Structure 1
Amino acid sequence: MQIEGSVISWVVPVPLTPRRVAAQVDAALADTRVVLINGARQTGKSTLVRIVAGDRLAAWRDLDRERDRNAALADPTGFVDSMDLLAIDEIQRVPDLLLAIKVSVDEDPRPGRYLLTGSSRLFGMIAAPDALPGRMETVELWPFSQGEMDGQPDGFVDAVFASGPELRHRSAVTRADYAARIVRGGLPEAVTREDPRRRQRFLDAYVQALVDRDVRQLSDIQHKGELRKLVRLLAGRSSTVIAANALESTLGLSRPTVARYLRVLEEIFLIKRIPGWSRNLGTRTTAAPKLIFVDSGIASNEISVEARSLLRPGAPFGPLLESFVISELARQLTWSRQRADLYHYRDQKQYEVDAVLENRSGQVVGIEVKAASTVRSDDFRGLRRLADRLGDDFVAGVVLYTGDSTLPFGDKMRAMPVSALWQVEAP
């Protein structure tokens, strides 16, 4: 990128990895005044702006630069003044700009006025004014999906709702391949580093920078050492149900402090909490959430596992594979035609389902994840419980495993290779 005054011109590196949500951003600019691309740092938000905006982009403001930040603080109205599409990077650095943008788009309601990027959940921030209801569309950008990296269709969510138990898939992906994918993760900078030691150094620095910079911007954290310890602790408990009171004694911090730290880590897109599912809407928010890392490479690095060691007996291959699968599902839900929400299921009798997808019609797909290359009937225990509860609303129960073929396990129940997530095409 080259910047001349306030006008941006791009020197385009090749090749660029196409992003699934690019079409969604482009469509939003056609009918919405403000579009926000929100996601973790270094997931490619600026590159996506470059691709989508193209020749429409009049100017670029980067609030990570001190000069731009100072100008925004001194004169918010002048800072956002633009007749054409204006891109503002890292909007969370000066959240009061949202008020100036609100005034501007109310006076001139043309679509495609502002394209913002952010590395924290804006409206989870205490300092962010709730200024843009009805004026802004938010598009969430995750690290690369497996399909984006492989040039595969990433169509599992749409395909399983359309085909249910009739969906079939064969795979040549091995357990060693899955382990390598988990450890690599999907952050663009990490993916380009083939040397594992260089990737580890990048991931170490990445997490430390989040703690030192982004967390400080969002919250008054007094114990950064304990926060760093919490990140490692959570990586070791990835894809488990996490409650703040279970971490108090280990960290030596109060329950409210641990809860605040968890909230901040989610706001900077380091972790994601998956709510518990229930048909009773009032219980969804009270069921304990399951925690995953947004990037499996970060989780693997935090507990110091490499691809080879992940395959040894006693290694945390199962929990990391489950977190990897759930994060791939979450990515797909940002672009799938099927509008669905992601939950996990756990009832008082200890029946569990790793991931529950429910669409707007109340249809449900249940997904279990197994690190084994063989599947047993008992692996469908939670899925059968879910099917009994739902009746005709239950579309399919799928056990994703590290084997190579699709196997039937009764009415609406199938075992299927994990790679179906990115290798299956949407209908």
Structure 2
Amino acid sequence: MSTRLVPRKSAAQVAAALGDTRVVLISGARQAGKSTLVRVVAGDRDGERRDLDKPQDRAAALTDPVGFVDTEGLLVIDEIQRAPDLLLAIKVAVDEDPRPGRYLLTGSSQLFGMAAAPDALPGRMETIELWPFSQGEVDGAPDRFIDAAFELGADLRIESDIPRAEYAHRIVRGGLPEAVNRSDPRRRARFHDAYVQSLIDRDVSQLADIQRKNELRRLIRLLAARTGTIVHADGRLRSDLGLSRPTIGRYLQALEEIFLVKRIPGWSRNLGTRATASPKMIFVDSGIAAQEMSVDARALLRPGAPFGPLLETFVLSELARQRSWSETMVDLYHYRDHSRFEVDAVLEDRRGRVVGVEVKAASTVGTDDFRGLRRLAERLGDDFVLGIVLYTGTTTLPFGDRLRAMPVSALWHAKPDE
């Protein structure tokens, strides 16, 4: 694929936020395209731009934060986590002059997870997550699966001509723009390796006291082998790494705050149990997970390869991308009960309606693949909109009331009636 400007689904959200909000933060992984998105959205607006990855800009920000943010037009500040005390100066500025669209910030760490970041901007700032490219952004496809599933329910139908090998290619490619633009798998692998090492050397060190970086790299590889599963800071991780539970917990938190991994909480209708249900961990980018597991697209198709866990990670990360721009506001969970009924993804809207998604890395589907979805439907009754098994086949098949098997490509090709 040749280098090109890929339109981002989040661009409209950022532009709308600048129209009515004083401070807008674009938050996401390094090299996910934040700076490019800023250039597109800011366009020819009057204003200035500063990059806190540049030593001279960072020094000025730390020396004179009030003077640094003093500007009439739009001020763009890249990598705001490098000088979090600027938020206090921004708070003072927007309280004195509450015009919308004054500051557009980008950050490669979850800002308020940082110990040094003051809780300065409640009610003044809107945060928009920017993930690596979605499949729909790369292909120019609708990326409206969430909206379509809630609007159409069991009437949703998708046919596909994508073979299983193509899904393997998409998994190992991932969505980071630099990786997408590299057609040579070996060069892409080099990029993914360097990317992870750069995160360890630069970003993680800002967030956690890392004594031995080699252990952190080993932890990342162990986590890749467990992607799509419930991960605890004790048990096998402790024995494999020889680190204490608090240390592993601190490292896991840091990896989440730099957008390398994401934890998907467990779902329950009892609001009090949601926060305590064990979360499932996925890699934000399936290409990085595949590289850390040392598998390429061809190897992924061999018997015994981790196609299933990586496909689940791929699907969950696509859903997480879409929920950041879908018109239907949903939360993303997974489901697992004491009887070991499981559903890979549970999407719940603000009205309490639910779409369940199970992932199967095979070209055929059987009734047993709907076991967890049937349990979810029994619990929810009329609030259960649709249960889908996403598989690597090509057609939509019915498996009972509000239960369907559907090609994985429905994630980016489905759209609601318009």
Q: Does 1:196 align with 2:185?
A: yes
Q: 1:289 Cα deviation (Å)?
A: 0.5
What residue in structure 2 maps to residue 291 of structure 1? 281
Q: Does 1:151 align with 2:143?
A: no
* One-letter amino acid matched to 1:108: D
What residue in structure 2 maps to residue 219 of structure 1? 208
Q: Is the 8 A contact 1:153 1:426 kept in 2?
A: no
Q: Does 1:130 align with 2:85?
A: no
Partners of 1:57 and 1:300 in 2: how far apart?
43
What residue in structure 2 maps to residue 10 of structure 1? none
Normalised to the residue count of structure 2, the TM-score between the two structures is: 0.98
Q: Is the 8 A contact 2:152 2:416 kept in 1?
A: no
Q: 1:424 Cα deviation (Å)?
A: 1.1
What residue in structure 1 maps to residue 238 of structure 2? 248
The DSSP-based 3-state class of the residue aligned with 1:291 is strand
Partners of 1:345 and 1:20 in 2: how far apart?
28
Partners of 2:343 and 2:245 in 1: how far apart?
28
Over residues 138-165 of structure 1, what are the superposed CA-to-partner deviations in whole Å (9 max), with x where a residue is unaligned? Answer: 0000000000000000010000000111
Aligned pair in 2 of structure 1 residues 315, 57: CA closer, same or farther (>3 Å)? farther
What residue in structure 2 maps to residue 366 of structure 1? 356
Normalised to the residue count of structure 1, the TM-score between the two structures is: 0.96
What residue in structure 1 maps to residue 327 of structure 2? 337
Partners of 1:169 and 1:232 in 2: how far apart?
36
* One-letter amino acid matched to 1:188: P
* One-letter amino acid matched to 1:260: R
Q: 1:15 Cα deviation (Å)?
A: 3.3
Of 87, 104, 111, the residue aligned with 2:93 is 104
Q: 1:292 Cα deviation (Å)?
A: 0.5
Count of equivalent residues: 415
Over residues 299-339 of structure 1, what are the superposed CA-to-partner deviations in whole Å (9 max), with x where a residue is unaligned? Answer: 00001100011000000000000000000000000000000
What residue in structure 2 maps to residue 114 of structure 1? 103
Partners of 2:3 and 2:130 in 1: how far apart?
21
Q: Is the 8 A contact 1:43 1:141 kept in 2?
A: yes
Over residues 48-91 of structure 1, what are the superposed CA-to-partner deviations in whole Å (9 max), with x where a residue is unaligned? Answer: 00000111141110000000000000000000011000000000
Aligned pair in 2 of structure 1 residues 236, 26: CA closer, same or farther (>3 Å)? same
Q: Is the 8 A contact 2:3 2:181 kept in 1?
A: no
Q: 1:177 Cα deviation (Å)?
A: 0.2
Q: Does 1:272 align with 2:258?
A: no
Q: Is the 8 A contact 1:32 1:135 kept in 2?
A: yes
Q: Is the 8 A contact 2:160 2:394 kept in 1?
A: yes
Of 33, 48, 73, the residue aligned with 2:37 is 48
Equivalences for residues 55-74 of structure 1 within 5 A: 55-74=44-63
Of 328, 351, 365, the residue aligned with 2:318 is 328
Q: Does 1:405 align with 2:395?
A: yes
Q: Is the 8 A contact 2:24 2:125 kept in 1?
A: yes
Identity percentage over the alignment? 73
* One-letter amino acid matched to 2:209: D
Partners of 1:144 and 1:286 in 2: how far apart?
31
Q: Which runs of 4+ in 1 moved over 3 A?
A: none
What residue in structure 1 maps to residue 84 of structure 2? 95
The DSSP-based 3-state class of the residue aligned with 1:46 is helix
Out of 13-22 and 351-360, give the one that drifted further: 13-22
Q: Does 1:76 align with 2:42?
A: no
* One-letter amino acid matched to 2:342: E
Partners of 2:183 and 2:55 in 1: how far apart?
33
What residue in structure 2 maps to residue 353 of structure 1? 343
Over residues 237-288 of structure 1, what are the superposed CA-to-partner deviations in whole Å (9 max), with x where a residue is unaligned? Answer: 1101111113111110001111111000000000000000000011111111
What residue in structure 2 maps to residue 282 of structure 1? 272
Partners of 2:416 and 2:241 in 1: how far apart?
45
Aligned pair in 2 of structure 1 residues 381, 14: CA closer, same or farther (>3 Å)? closer
- Give RMSD over aligned pairs: 0.9
* One-letter amino acid matched to 2:380: L
What residue in structure 2 maps to residue 393 of structure 1? 383
Over residues 335-381 of structure 1, what are the superposed CA-to-partner deviations in whole Å (9 max), with x where a residue is unaligned? Answer: 00000000000000000000000000000000000001000000000
* One-letter amino acid matched to 2:408: V
* One-letter amino acid matched to 1:392: D
Aligned pair in 2 of structure 1 residues 15, 129: CA closer, same or farther (>3 Å)? same
What residue in structure 1 maps to residue 154 of structure 2? 165
* One-letter amino acid matched to 2:64: D
Equivalences for residues 408-427 of structure 1 within 5 A: 408-427=398-417
Q: 1:223 Cα deviation (Å)?
A: 2.1
Q: Is the 8 A contact 1:37 1:45 kept in 2?
A: yes
Q: 1:218 Cα deviation (Å)?
A: 1.3
The DSSP-based 3-state class of the residue aligned with 1:25 is helix
The DSSP-based 3-state class of the residue aligned with 1:287 is coil
What residue in structure 1 maps to residue 223 of structure 2? 234
Over residues 157-200 of structure 1, what are the superposed CA-to-partner deviations in whole Å (9 max), with x where a residue is unaligned? Answer: 00000011110000001100000000000000011111111111
What residue in structure 2 maps to residue 6 of structure 1? none
Partners of 1:201 and 1:107 in 2: how far apart?
48
List alignment gaps of at least 5 residues for structure 2: none
Q: 1:412 Cα deviation (Å)?
A: 0.5
Q: Is the 8 A contact 2:330 2:347 kept in 1?
A: yes
Q: Is the 8 A contact 1:276 1:346 kept in 2?
A: yes
Partners of 1:202 and 1:379 in 2: how far apart?
37
Q: 1:14 Cα deviation (Å)?
A: 7.5
